[in-house]
Amino acid sequence: MAQNATIFKVDLQISDMDRHYYASHSLTLARHPSETDERMMIRVLAFVLNASEDLAFGKGMSSEDEPDLWEKDLTGSVKRWIEVGQPDEKRIRKACGVSREVIIYPYSGNSADMWWDANKRNVEKLDKVSVINIPVESTEALGKLAQRNMQLQCTIQDGEIWFTDNEAALQIQLQVLKAAR
């Protein structure tokens, strides 16, 4: 018998002073049985970094046709396609074909570095794609914040990202490997 997804609730307050975006979001996340807390929390981080009223979680790991997150305009066209992890080149090209912007958040330390080394040459040719690595220290710390019911605050100022809950505060470091042109 297949396992069901685990449901997580997140009350999220975002203060992004760099983008002048201030909002509260009530998120419901379904964590796939094969997904780790770390990966799920990276999806939350990706939401924070790209937050808008139209940003939504896709089916992610359970669908090849949808990204982890995406933002659509009023006509249903995809404005932003966001992948967490290490997508293959075919998936990246597909995302470029249907979206105006593609953002990839690889993680997992050495495997993310190996993925980037293997894909860098081809991805660098794609104008719409940004690749932002999340170092393993940050992803491990994020994973430790995961709880079935979370109250998180995130503050972004001058490129610095801070996550806090009722017990801990952590700074998230990002490494831009490629910016869209």
DSSP string of 106-172? --STHHHHHHHHHHHHHHTT-TTEEEEE--HHHHHHHHHT--SEEEEEEEEETTEEEEE-SS-EEEE
Cβ contacts of 75 within 8 Å, gap of 6 or more: none
Q: What is the predicted pLDDT for the residue at 61?
A: 64
pLDDT at residue 131 greater than cutoff 70: yes
Q: What global pTM score does this model have? A: 0.94
Cα 21 to Cα 53, 54, 155, 156, 176, distances in angstroms: 10, 13, 10, 10, 21
65 inside domain: yes
Burial (CB < 10 A; 0-12, 13-18, 19+), residue 155, is middle
66 inside domain: yes
CATH assignment at residue 77 = 3.10.640.10
The H-or-E segment that residue 8 falls in is strand 6-16
83 DSSP β-pair partners: 104
64 inside domain: yes
- What pLDDT, in 10s, does the model give residues 144-179? 999 999 999 999 999 999 999 989 999 998 999 999
Burial (CB < 10 A; 0-12, 13-18, 19+), residue 68, is buried
The residue segments making up the domain with residue 97 are 6-178
Average pLDDT of the residues in 23-51: 95
Q: What is the predicted pLDDT for the residue at 1?
A: 36
1 inside domain: no
Average pLDDT of the residues in 88-100: 96
HSE at residue 86, side-chain half, CA atoms within 13 A, is 15
Tally the domains of the chain: 1
108 inside domain: yes
